[in-house]
Amino acid sequence: MIDPVVIGVDVGGTKVVAAEVGVDGTLARVARRPTPGRRVAVALLEDALTEAVEEVAAGRPVAGVGLAAAGFVDAAGERVAFAPHLPWRGDRVRARLTQRWGVPVALDNDANCTARAESAHGMAQGVDDALVLTVGTGIGGAIVVGGLLRRGRNGMAGEFGHARVVPDGRGCECGGRGCWEQYCSGNALVRTARAGLEAAGQGSDGALARACGGDPATLTGPMVTQGAAAGDPVALAAFAEVGSWLGVGVANLVAGLDPAVVVVGGGVSAAGDLLLEPARAALTGSLVGAEHRVVPPLLRARFGPEAGVVGAADLVRRHLA
Amino acid sequence: MIDPVVIGVDVGGTKVVAAEVGVDGTLARVARRPTPGRRVAVALLEDALTEAVEEVAAGRPVAGVGLAAAGFVDAAGERVAFAPHLPWRGDRVRARLTQRWGVPVALDNDANCTARAESAHGMAQGVDDALVLTVGTGIGGAIVVGGLLRRGRNGMAGEFGHARVVPDGRGCECGGRGCWEQYCSGNALVRTARAGLEAAGQGSDGALARACGGDPATLTGPMVTQGAAAGDPVALAAFAEVGSWLGVGVANLVAGLDPAVVVVGGGVSAAGDLLLEPARAALTGSLVGAEHRVVPPLLRARFGPEAGVVGAADLVRRHLA
């Protein structure tokens, strides 16, 4: 007899990742699809999710699917109210996909799922007060207070990415200006590296310029990470800038929440210390009263960019139990 | 027989307010002293507290004194670790004043005390998730999550006033730059009104110019409030600017915490809607996804600037019970 598969799906602004997840958080089969965009029909996105889930299931029976969505999910886990990087606007995603797939589906915000995974198996295990961030296409967040994941009055707590950090700053997909995620995210990393390459012009022959074939318009986040790992100065400068913005924003949040630990997941966390070292320096440099207090450790999620998938699987597993 | 008096003391950056507080939060006798400053000897500040407490006691027996301090108080309520506007730096304030006064003393942060008062008797009564701000010399904050006042890992949660809202912005007493309270506080209000009067020059003959005898250097916060209430355009413009900064900062916090209600106390809350109307407009205008969510009400504390005193008295009363 084949055990039914539990699948977690992370629905991000750039890509969809689905995976079979074991009870201890280990990933087995993984499928990826590009996110079709935020201005497309909802059906296109849900088709992509369906394909990814079917690829992971590979004909085996599925016990349930957990969805980690990069957007505002209501407190009941039924609807995606709003998602700057996805087409859902008030859609009853859980019920619709339950019906389409014929299996139990659970839904939560991607950062909340990351917090679940890291609290259950990762860097926030046993921690009463934790701040969890996902740095991907944008920034998501979750707060653990008094040992519990807190969702606020309407289930929308943790949307730190749209805090205004620069008056009249860069325009944001949310409609605002100067949002934190315009300075600290995968998008910001690529934009900063692209500007660096363009400024260097023909003189640039480093790893990053070669990776994009000399065309900065084709740069991607993983290229910047690989370039920085290879010592490319433009890529390193992009991480220094984005990491510094991460640290300043984390300092604002630490002043407000005083967590024991700050855990960073999301796609850009794959870069590890390339991102976190400049962030740690900025955190200590910007945190009010840093010399009179404990500065919390700033840690990469144990499950890195996959923490959302792991937490989503945990969520649906809990509903099945 | 005379009932022993319970006294609450709010130790702010500009003034010290002590009051006899009834069990229902009503204030009886009140005493005020100017805060001696942040660069003076600690003894000068503690002498001022002592004078204020003695004036309220007026020879009657004192059951206990609660202190609401505008600074970082440790989780045990023993020490003021750091206070940008006060001279205490790691001082064991509770034990020292217990010994000096010979009565039970309790200590907490001023915004935490405001949150206690408003949760017990005021605008946050029965509310599970509340954000409480004190706008005075600077900004203090407190968070109620899941029905409890939360202090974070080290007791220092809620220091929203030192979130950086402007890169390379105005210098702050905390040593940082661009802190929110440099744009939204009693100090910011006076500075903005002063600049407005100076820009208007000799042509300014409104209520505000008359209140300060034509010398902008002598302006105080209460003068700006009175001027605005009398329709003075410079004073109204100052409230519009400071109120707008309040709303933008509250929008950042609402995105992060999703509270059911936002309560504003502190000295500047005496101005009521002069401050809160522009803040409400900016909150709705800046909050991410405002059209897809419930925008929480932004309310003046029921006890206004006295909420800290009421909460401090509640705190020591609880220790006595």
Strands B5-11 and A139-145 turn out to be: unpaired
Domain extent, residue A64, equals: 5-115+306-320
Q: Which of B145, B156, B258 sits opposite A145 (nearest CB)?
A: B145
A231/A250 same-domain check: yes
Cβ within 8 Å, pair B154-A294: yes
The mean predicted confidence, pLDDT, of chain B is 94
Q: Are residues B195 and B243 in the same domain?
A: yes
**B289–A157 C-beta distance less than 8 A:** no
- Is residue B181 very low, low, confident or very high in pLDDT (cuts 50, 70, 90)? very high
- Chain A, 291 to 310: residues with Cβ < 8 Å from chain B are 292-294, 296
Same domain, B278 and B198: yes
B148 with B102, same domain?
no
- Both A292 and A146 in one domain: the answer is yes
Residue B2 confidence (pLDDT) above 70? no
For residue A284, tell me if it sits in a domain. Answer: yes
**Residue-level pLDDT at A264:** 98
**Does the residue B121 lie in any domain?**
no
Residue A259 scores a pLDDT above 70:
yes
Name the domain count of chain B.
2
Q: What is the mean pLDDT of residues B138-157?
A: 93
User: A21 pLDDT band (50/70/90 cuts)?
Assistant: very high
Mean pLDDT across A37-51: 93
Give start and end residues of each alpha helix (H) in chain A.
Answer: 42-57, 93-101, 110-121, 186-200, 207-211, 221-229, 233-257, 273-286, 307-320
Say if A135 falls within a structural domain.
yes
Q: Please compute the mean of the pLDDT values over residues B169-175 and round it to a whole number.
A: 93
A120 within a domain of the structure (yes/no): no
Both A295 and A312 in one domain: the answer is no
Closest CB from B152, B164, B259 relative to A248: B164
Confidence of residue A204 (pLDDT cuts 50, 70, 90): low
Q: Does residue B295 share a domain with residue B179?
A: yes
Mean of pLDDT values over B246-262: 97
pLDDT tens readout for residues B94-135: 999 999 999 999 999 999 999 999 999 999 999 999 999 999
For the ranges A92-101, A168-177, B242-251, which has the lowest average pLDDT?
A: A168-177
What is the 8-class DSSP label of residue B288?
T
Does residue B11 sit within a domain?
yes
Chain A 16-35, residues with CB within 8 Å of chain B CB atoms = none
Q: Give B 72-131 residues with CB within 8 A of chain A.
A: 72, 81-82, 84, 89-90, 128-129
Q: Note whether residue B120 is domain-resident.
A: no
Q: Is B22 in contact with B4 (CB distance < 8 Å)?
A: no
Q: Which one, of B11, B31, B12, lies nearest residue B21 by Cα?
A: B31
Q: Which of A79-93, A191-205, A224-238, B151-165 has the lowest mean pLDDT?
A: A191-205
Same domain, A160 and A179: yes
Flag whether pLDDT at A54 surpasses 60.
Answer: yes
What average pLDDT is seen over chain A?
94
Same domain, A190 and A206: yes
CATH number at residue B253: 3.30.420.40
B173 touches chain A (CB under 8 A): no
* Domain contains A242: yes
Amino acid at B158: G
**Upper half-sphere CA count for residue B122 (Cβ side, 13 Å):** 30
Over its C-alpha atoms, chain A yields an Rg (Å, rounded) of 19
Task: Give residue B129's pLDDT.
Answer: 96
Whether B155 is covered by a domain: the verdict is yes
- For A222-232, b/e burial (b = at least 16 CB within 10 A) is ebbbbbbeeeb
Q: What confidence score (pLDDT) does residue A203 get?
A: 65
Looking at the complex, does the CB of residue B39 fall below 8 Å from at least one CB of chain A?
no
pLDDT in tens, B24-61: 999 999 999 999 988 899 999 999 999 999 999 999 99
Distance CA B70, CA B108 (A): 9
Considering the domain architecture, whether residues A76 and A155 belong to the same structural domain is answered as no
State the first-to-last Cα distance of chain B, in angstroms, to the nearest integer: 20
Helix, strand, coil share (%) of chain B residues, nearest 5: 45, 20, 35
The whole-number pLDDT of residue B203 equals 65
Residue B55 sits in the same domain as residue B143: no
Q: Which of A45-54, A74-83, A244-253, B269-278 has the lowest mean pLDDT?
A: A74-83
If you average pLDDT over residues A140-160, what whole number do you get? 93
Residues B182-190 have a mean pLDDT of 97
Indicate whether B228 and B248 sit together in one domain: yes
The pLDDT of residue B206 is 87
pLDDT at A291: 87
Q: How far is A267 from chain B (nearest CA, A)?
A: 21
Average pLDDT over residues A147-172: 94
In which band, very low, low, confident or very high, does the pLDDT at A302 lie, cut at 50, 70 and 90? Answer: very high
Contacts B251 to A, Cβ<8 Å = 164
